[in-house]
Structure 1
């Protein structure tokens, strides 16, 4: 049985099938459940959850303004995963461009730095995903 997170973003997408191919085949999410007749899918990847909803211009969906590509401007979704290299390999196999070069990053958090191996990529509608593999902590340098 699926345990739903307390906060799950719902992303409006221009083409649900194209988005599902990206999110499942390339990133590694599984479809927890879907309502194809409504253009909706609920995805899960080891506890990271997101909902995708097909955009229908005349359907009265909850939109605060006109949708223009790229969608999701001003937001990026950090998702902690066990390993980023398999995702990187799947993206490379289809020559999917990375938003930033694949790298290790260290961020100050109080008295320590928290490390993560980061893969930053945009989905077909331009939503920015930061897939992060934990590298641990170290003293602030």
Structure 2
């Protein structure tokens, strides 16, 4: 891939603002593993290899199983492996990530209200929006994957 701009170096204030969102997300009630599932699923939909690589490693570190990570892109077909909250969060992730199709539907929002508080729904939306922003930065700038641990 061609080398592209490094936003962290060229626009450090913009990068700092993105890190501010990450700082906020580290304080929310949503579990670390659910946040990682959201990040991975969004990154799969956006074809962001850099973020898929980073967040699968993080998910494993936080105790997520390999089996669930392997099956995540087909979570609907393996829905017995995921909790009611996880299924709604993944559905929200897909609808918000693919917002051009229909956006967050009323049906999914109503499901979310049955398993999350309104504050948690707001937090989920912010988590999904943030990873989508990171995906767009990584894909647009061709961030390279480092396979070294």
The two structures share one fold, judged by TM-score above 0.5: no
| TM-score between the two structures when normalised by the length of structure 1 | 0.26
Question: Greater strand percent: which structure?
Answer: 1
Work out which structure has the larger RCO, using CA pairs closer than 8 Å and 6 or more positions apart in sequence.
2
Bigger CA radius of gyration: 1
More helix, by proportion: 2
